[in-house]
Structure 1
Amino acid sequence: MLDALLSRLADKRDLVIDLQRELTAIPALGPDNGGPGEREKADRLKTLLADMGFPEPREINAPDPRVPCGHRPNLAVVIPGADTARTFWVISHLDIVPPGDRALWRGDPYTLEVDGDLLYGRGVEDNQQAVVSSILLGKALLETGTTPPVNYGMLFVADEETGSKYGLDYVAAHHDGLFTKDDLFLVPDFGLPSSEMVEVAEKSMLWYKVSVKGRQCHASTPEDGINSLSAAALFILKIPKLHERFPAKNPLFQPANSTFEPTKKEANVDNINTIPGRDVFYVDCRVLPEYDLDDVTAAIRAYGREVEAACGVTIDYEVVQQEQAAPATPEDAPIVRKVMDGIRAVYAGAKPRPMGIGGGTVAAYLRRRGHPAVVWATLEHNAHQPNERTSIAKTIGDAQVMAHVLAGA
């Protein structure tokens, strides 16, 4: 079985290009990014899969009145295996992010450009490489007439780029028996060009908005006002002290410590000769799982009280996003071992290892429900950038790793 699949997959360059061209042409932007959602892309994908002979997808549509069709589509496609009680799932997402400044692109971000082994276009890596790799394996199963040891499942989800409320989070809560406790889960949505990062854990994530309110006045009479910018600057300089409050390190992660970074700053006044009465900044916190995010917000607010007392301002807070880390996938879980074995077999010289990351992935929604999941892919690592690109050879190589996992399931 495995040799036949690997041989068939090795000859799929043209299919990789064709699928990427079709998918790139449909900008599946969610409403938070100013788009109509994933419906058009999901419909085109359904047609492509039907033309290749795949089983009819099961749709799990999450209601969303902000998009024209009223829902966000999630598609589950299952090729039956010898053991129909278990499924190896490959989970990818349909939505993309906007292209940003188009002047920085080498061409139209929604028109695929082929340059040797590389494909350029918005979404080609994030997450169409995973979409295509999973389809390649399914197509190879159909072409060779292979019945895998367990079911082979492809799950194409919505809304990964803006929180997954209408994507895997919704599917995991409303799947009605789609998943079982013995299933294997692979999410090819993060990785390194070396293929060696096998993500099994994530830090907790907190995005915190801080609004500093003073009193606006003319800059020539500062005694008539309260300078919110000066107070905000003082507050920002206190944020690094969080490293002393939460000092733990975990070698599974890189960096091994929690991180606390002031990032976005909203505009205040338009002219130079006005002392601002309101300043807003944001803090991005990636916190080791052993710490409670409520303790982090309490520490930030304590610094804020110091600033209020020192500067005479008032400070308000808002949680933009808060995700306490899900339980880690055990490093000796079957899916971890099988993925690492597949990587070693396909990518010569690779030394895969379990790792943790600072960003959240959709795997958290599986791990919170007791499903060990691995996040892995062999990526150029340029998601969200201008001239996003992906490797044809690595798209095929990842499909071959998936074939190894399936054959050994």
Structure 2
Amino acid sequence: MSARPPAADAGLAQVLATLQGRSAASLNDLLAFAAIPSVSAQAAHAPDVRRAADWLAARLRQAGLAAVEQWPTAGHPAVYAEWLGAPGAPTLLVYGHYDVQPPDPEDRWRTPPFTPTVQGERVYGRGVSDDKGPLLIAVQVADAYLSALGRLPVNVKFLFEGEEEVGSAHLPALVAARRGRLQADFVLSADGGMWSAETPSLTVSARGLAALEFTVRGPAKDLHSGRHGGSLHNPLHAIAALVASLHAADGRVAVDGFYDGVSDRTPAERQAIRALPFTDAAYLEQTGAPATYGEAGYSTLERQWTRPTLELNGLWGGYAGEGSKTVLPGEAHAKITCRLVPGQDPARMPALIEAHLRRHLPPGVTLEVRAGAHGARAYELPAAHPGRRVARQVLETVYGRAPLEVGMGGSIPVLETFSELLGVDTVFFSFAVGDEDIHAPNEFFRLARLGEGQEAWARYWAALAADAGPGGQP
């Protein structure tokens, strides 16, 4: 990295001091933002999603970003802002999402999901970790730079979407239509998360995604189980058999063609994963499960980061209310998602699974399969990418030790969108942590991560400008 001039160091110190002085205001930002129930999956919350977009646009204007726009889509709007006053410096596209998952089951929350609540060193509420807290860090850092120095060290474009939690279905069309406005050297993502709170980490890969759901039907309507049981095939029995057929006894997915194109990591890569400070015992304590389970021959982290999976996300039918109802249901339903690794095509997965289900369909029932609305390929950040190098350096400065480079078990569909439509890579730089119960009751965000994230984002922009040097290319 090129030497940073003393003036740049003094400027960064001013920005960091500004952020430190605004710590209470930063938390208040999060409390206000997370109180908006921007649940993108539920039509009843569409006005709340719009309200969150309006709140975010106003906060970007408050930060001093004059070019703030809301871009409509066929679903929920995206919020865009830019500051391009650093000629010759690199240009970043900062990505995040302001929509959140449904809070269900609400009776499992210890505090109301949309009344963000500070307890000790944590704030609890839906969306505080995924992704409103991490997203706000980037906005607050831009505000601090513009307040303290009147400028940013690099050019920054912000793109915050409102549909990530429903698969970013309309983002590809938006990015294609706005390609000229969104050109950048690379994406710096506020979405994602670190591996643990104790160990700084840099996520360098993410698994892909494919989804489907299916329905098994028997009689045309629910029937009396005494009169008709044993005479007709119960759709619940049939769907249970189908679900059981999807995996072999050793945990391997039993769908023909599922592993086509999948390769093992090298022995050195596998050993590097096994050398990480991770134990199954600690993982089980965190999750509350009695034992690990999965594809034989692989460690827990290998299964999470480098192996494909097929998971049942929902299974229902018949009567599930209080007491007993002697019914033979007319239909049963299931939802499946697959996490994919390099070499797998998400568009191919639903057809492979449907073929398996039809081959194993029991007699006396019919099958309807519906592919999910979204999918994504697996992603890996190139080892020599300059954004990866700067991230490592900044995290080491903030935490006093080099970060571990880790994988992500989950999926972020926009990675493929940015790669294919803009030709750019994405660097994950989120300060959420993997254990913060995202998508679950009692989601939380560690208060210390607000300050740590702000320092890191401020240092990242300064370091990237210094790394680029006079030519402006990172």
TM-score (norm. length: structure 1): 0.85
Contact in 2 for aligned 1:326/1:367 (Cα 8 Å): no
In structure 1, C-alpha distance between the alignment counterparts of 2:456 and 2:351, rounded to whole Å = 45
Of 284, 287, 291, which aligns to 2:337?
284
Q: Which residue of 2 aligns with 1:182?
A: 185
Pairing 1:191-340 to 2, within 5 Å after superposition: 191-192=194-195, 193-194=197-198, 196-215=200-219, 218-219=225-226, 222=229, 224-241=231-248, 243=253, 245=256, 246=258, 248=262, 249-250=264-265, 254-268=304-318, 273-293=326-346, 295-308=348-361, 311-325=363-377, 327-340=379-392
In the TM superposition, what is the alpha-carbon distance from 1:325 to its structure 2 partner? Answer: 0.3
In the TM superposition, what is the alpha-carbon distance from 1:239 to its structure 2 partner? Answer: 0.4
In structure 1, C-alpha distance between the alignment counterparts of 2:72 and 2:351, rounded to whole Å = 38
Contact in 2 for aligned 1:187/1:374 (Cα 8 Å): no
One-letter identity of the residue aligned with 1:262: L
Q: Residue 26 in 1 paired to residue 26 in 2?
A: no
Shift of the 45–397 alpha-carbon distance from structure 1 to 2, 3 Å rule, reads: same
In structure 1, C-alpha distance between the alignment counterparts of 2:63 and 2:358, rounded to whole Å = 62
In structure 2, C-alpha distance between the alignment counterparts of 1:259 and 1:358, rounded to whole Å = 11
Instruction: Count the aligned residue pairs.
Output: 400
One-letter identity of the residue aligned with 2:37: P
Shift of the 20–222 alpha-carbon distance from structure 1 to 2, 3 Å rule, reads: closer
In the TM superposition, what is the alpha-carbon distance from 1:19 to its structure 2 partner? Answer: 0.7
Contact in 2 for aligned 1:220/1:273 (Cα 8 Å): no
SS in 2 for 1:38: helix
SS in 2 for 1:178: helix
Q: Which residue of 2 aligns with 1:169?
A: 172
SS in 1 for 2:312: strand
Q: Residue 10 in 1 paired to residue 20 in 2?
A: yes
Farther-moved stretch of structure 1 (340-349 vs 268-277)? 268-277
Q: Which residue of 1 aligns with 2:460?
A: 405
In the TM superposition, what is the alpha-carbon distance from 1:394 to its structure 2 partner? Answer: 0.8
Shift of the 182–11 alpha-carbon distance from structure 1 to 2, 3 Å rule, reads: same
One-letter identity of the residue aligned with 1:128: K
Q: Which residue of 2 aligns with 1:366?
A: 418
Contact in 2 for aligned 1:77/1:155 (Cα 8 Å): yes
Higher strand share: 1
In structure 2, C-alpha distance between the alignment counterparts of 1:359 and 1:31, rounded to whole Å = 17
In the TM superposition, what is the alpha-carbon distance from 1:333 to its structure 2 partner? Answer: 1.3
Q: Which residue of 1 aligns with 2:51?
A: 40
SS in 1 for 2:253: helix
In structure 2, C-alpha distance between the alignment counterparts of 1:150 and 1:255, rounded to whole Å = 33
Contact in 2 for aligned 1:199/1:357 (Cα 8 Å): no
In the TM superposition, what is the alpha-carbon distance from 1:31 to its structure 2 partner? Answer: 5.8
Contact in 1 for aligned 2:209/2:378 (Cα 8 Å): no
Q: Residue 132 in 1 paired to residue 182 in 2?
A: no
Q: Which residue of 1 aligns with 2:451?
A: 396
In structure 2, C-alpha distance between the alignment counterparts of 1:359 and 1:376, rounded to whole Å = 15
Runs of 4+ in 1 over 6 A off after TM superposition: none
Q: Which residue of 2 aligns with 1:386?
A: 441
In the TM superposition, what is the alpha-carbon distance from 1:240 to its structure 2 partner? Answer: 0.7
Contact in 1 for aligned 2:93/2:184 (Cα 8 Å): no
Contact in 1 for aligned 2:186/2:427 (Cα 8 Å): no
SS in 2 for 1:261: strand
Farther-moved stretch of structure 1 (95-104 vs 15-24)? 95-104
Farther-moved stretch of structure 1 (257-266 vs 113-122)? 113-122
Deviations 1:227-251 (A, max 9, x none): 3333222211210146355454445
Contact in 2 for aligned 1:204/1:286 (Cα 8 Å): yes
Q: Which residue of 2 aligns with 1:89?
A: 93
Deviations 1:198-226 (A, max 9, x none): 33333232222222233467446655322
In the TM superposition, what is the alpha-carbon distance from 1:352 to its structure 2 partner? Answer: 2.8
The gaps in structure 1 that reach 5 residues or longer are 65-71
The gaps in structure 2 that reach 5 residues or longer are 1-7, 274-301, 465-474
